[in-house]
Homo-oligomer: A and B are copies of this chain.
């Protein structure tokens, strides 16, 4: 009886229940096409990050457009993607719990699986689990190229880990994970370029050192929606892990190009659909999209296509709207552009695909809440 499914296939947009996530399918497909063409033209592999959409249906569309596979951030997320039909996954993250390492190794019997490491003892546990499962696992060494998060220091510490991986028969040393999340959200193009230059220099030095010791790097992985063009232009990275480009969000929409103008490469395809649920004051209204259907960590949402009203406060189940000209009416629908797409999608069980004003599909967010 209790259901949170907001729509049925074929229904007009106006009939969709709120709050819910809409996906403009034309915009989604344009974004996927554009990144696929970029990768092809730059002769670079694309392995989009599924942590953004957590939706096997979208992952399969990315792969159909030429992506070599997907990235996941968690083992349970990867399991959900394999169940959804994906056969090539890189877990671009560390896995440290022995039970989750065992699940990762088991998954490597059903799909091609890679994982990242930044610790010697962790490599030993992964090697033992992989051997016990009679599986083969690709392992990348994550290096800290400026994010100050996970990853060993570039250079010698990375070489030592690579050697340890190579020494294990169950593991294949697959290269370097060199992602800097901080680069992605810098608005200024020159700042992003400077951070990419630093990361590239660190990564190149590490790769050269590895090769001088006979350790080849089939994969140099990194890049996100903020930096992918700069990463590709470096000539060093050969695998792009962008995720947010499929949906975009208010934060990514604020990035500037080298000429100081807003970037134009991807369009907003993800919207939080909401209804005005209370209108008792002339200057304000209340909508039904609050903290339980969006993450406000990167800022409040932007009301799409309206500069006459503004979303000014998020409560658990309510959004407060400034309506200075008293334009909004009870029951009126608005589209919000979420501040941050990834954690917003993770709050929803469904993505309502819209084309031509009608619901074309309703995709389950299969890896929603898969945080183990």
Contact = CB atoms under 8 A, between A and B. Distances in A.
Interface of A: 1-4, 6, 17-20, 51, 73-74, 76-77, 79-80, 82-83, 93-94, 96-97, 99-100, 118-119, 121-122, 144, 148-153, 157, 181, 275-281, 284, 286, 288, 291-293, 295-297, 314-318, 320, 330-331, 340, 342-343, 346-349, 366-372
Most central of A18, A73, A295 by chain B CB within 10 Å: A295
A316 B73 contact: yes
8 contacts: A1-B79, A4-B76, A118-B280, A119-B330, A151-B278, A153-B280, A349-B369, A368-B369
Contacts of A19: 371-372
B18 A277 contact: no
B17 A99 contact: yes
A1 B148 CA distance: 34
Contact of A369 (B4, B331, B366): B4
A168 B90 CA distance: 61
Copies in the complex: 2
B17 A372 contact: yes
A18 B76 CA distance: 12
A83 B4 CA distance: 14
A148 B284 contact: yes
B150 A280 contact: yes
